[in-house]
Amino acid sequence: MAELLTLVGIGLLVGFAGGTLGVGGGFLLVPILFSWLSWPMLASVAASHFCGMAVSASATGNYSKAGLIDWRLGIVMEVAAVAGAAAGAWGVRWISVDLVAVAFSAVASWSAYRMWSVREAPPGPDGVPRVNVTGKQYAIGLPAMFLIGGVSGVLGLGGGVFIVPILTELMHLPIRRAVGTSVFMVGMNAAAAGIVYYLHGDVPADSTSLLAGGVFAGAMIGSGIQHRLPAVALRRGFAIILVVLSARLLIRALS
Amino acid sequence: MSIGRRVTADPDTNASAILASLYTWGARLIGGILMVGIIAQAATFFFSFRDESVGQIIAIWPTVSMLGLWAVPVLSLSVAGCTWVIRDRRDWTGWMAIGIGVFLSSLWILQ
């Protein structure tokens, strides 16, 4: 019984964070499962992918109802991310994972600074956020998403923590729209990686199902209340996550 | 046809609404499965409830929920992509959605 309550409780917290900020929650879940609950690293990563799918499946409906998902933009960006993930999986034996971790620690720090300090343009007169993705922004965003796809695969991240900064800083999407589109995208990323782990027998299905149930409920609550939070609070919450991620990547590389 | 122009269009177009609807219904189904499994497990702990049907739910629930979570994006993208392409063969994002759906399915087959 204690296991059921613990796993569902952890899932609720991770799902709430994921549903509110548009991330899969792997950056929180993997350390909790690995360090706190002593799960093997492979099982922790595998379970985090299924929880990413749960965040996406649960929160996408709420963001969709609010008109905050750019479906077509998400699909186009995802093609680049999937191609990058394949390239990353192929190239991982020739590149230094520690060097990549240090480089992306710096990228995460810069993104955190931007998220914290930059104010986005106010919404239009009808209250709807302005969205104007141009061809030039695609020319910058697609290679960036390819790179993120590759690096996420190398570092074992779902990618949501980097997708939102790309959508806000490079594609100039308002934070809410970036979070909604990211929620949709992390589900595809997680599905690609998760099924491979599952078919190799690395997913502890009983425990992961309990986690995923909690994550599903938490993400539904998080995505439901997200629209009540001011945009600046969302940006700053995301900045804090990026600082934590940056520190983790640096510690990993140095240790 | 410019992808940029399509993306900047009103997100509540019919095409996007199909994908949104598929995702929403898929999520409701998998959410229901997850909740039934958790309630069944909690019932066995709290009330020492032993029943053959509850035992069967607990036995197959993890597999069904894992596969269900994976199927939501795969099926939604594939079906929505096909619908978009049937409406307009030059719809790039429709072909991309089908491509992602086929890629995700092929991972299963290749393993």
- As for the ipTM of the complex, it is 0.82
The Cα B13–Cα A67 span in angstroms is: 11
Please give the residue of chain B at the shortest CA–CA distance from A128: B10
Percentage helix, strand, coil for chain B under 3-state DSSP, each rounded to 5: 85, 0, 15
Task: Measure the CA–CA gap between A45 and A48, rounded to whole angstroms.
Answer: 5
Pick the residue of B3, B6, B34, B39 with the most A CBs within 10 A to test the interface with A by mutation.
B34
Residue of A nearest to B26 (CA): A57
Cβ-defined contact of B7 to A133 (cutoff 8 Å): yes
Domain positions in chain B are: 14-110
Is A181's pLDDT higher than 50? Answer: yes
pLDDT value at residue B32: 92
Nearest to A71 among B8, B16, B92 (CB): B16
More confident: B87 or A126 = B87
Token pair, residue B7, equals 């993306």
Q: Do A75 and B77 touch (CB under 8 A)?
A: yes
Query: pLDDT class for A220, splitting at 50, 70, 90?
Result: very high
Nearest to B7 among A70, A79, A198 (CB): A70
Name the residue among A4, A58, A212 with its Cβ closest to that of B27: A58
pLDDT the model gives residue A107: 80
Whether residues A76 and B3 touch (CB distance < 8 A) is answered with: yes
Contacts of B62 in chain A (CB under 8 A): 205-206, 208-209
CA nearest neighbour of A14 among A145, A117, A147, A160: A160
Of B34, B46, B73, the CB nearest to A187: B73
| Residue type (1 letter), B55 | G
Q: For testing the chain B interface, which of A8, A53, A63, A72 should be mutated: the one with the most B CBs within 10 Å?
A: A72
Dump pLDDT digits (tens) for A137-171: 788 888 988 888 887 766 666 678 888 888 888 88
> Cα distance from A3 to chain B (closest Cα, Å)?
11
Is A29:A47 a contact under the CB 8 Å cutoff? yes
Ranked by mean pLDDT, the top range of A37-41, B90-94, B95-99 is B95-99
Q: Amino acid letter at A46?
A: A
Rounded Cα distance, A28 and A103, in Å: 21
Please work out, in degrees rounded to the nearest 5, the angle formed at the alpha carbon of residue A190 by the alpha carbons of A185 and A195. 140
Percent of chain A with pLDDT over 90: 13
Nearest to A120, CA basis, from A131, A135, A110:
A131
Please give the DSSP secondary-structure letter assigned to residue B13: S
CA nearest A35: which of A189, A186, A248, A247?
A248
Most A-contacting residue of B3, B6, B69 (CB-CB within 10 A), to test interface: B69
A196 burial type by CB count under 10 A (0-12 exposed, 13-18 middle, 19+ buried): middle
Do the beta carbons of residue A158 and residue A17 sit within 8 Å?
Answer: no
Contact A219, A59 (CB under 8 A): yes
> In the predicted model, is pLDDT for residue B99 greater than 80?
yes
CB-nearest to B23 from A60, A76, A200 is A60
Residue of higher predicted confidence among A222 and A252: A222
Residue A118: count other Cβ atoms within 10 Å of its Cβ: 10
The alpha-carbon gap from B91 to the nearest alpha carbon of chain A, in Å, equals 10
Q: What is the pLDDT of residues A42-67, one digit of tens each?
A: 888 889 889 999 999 999 988 888 88
Q: Decide: residue A23, CB within 10 A, 0-12 exposed, 13-18 middle, 19+ buried.
A: buried
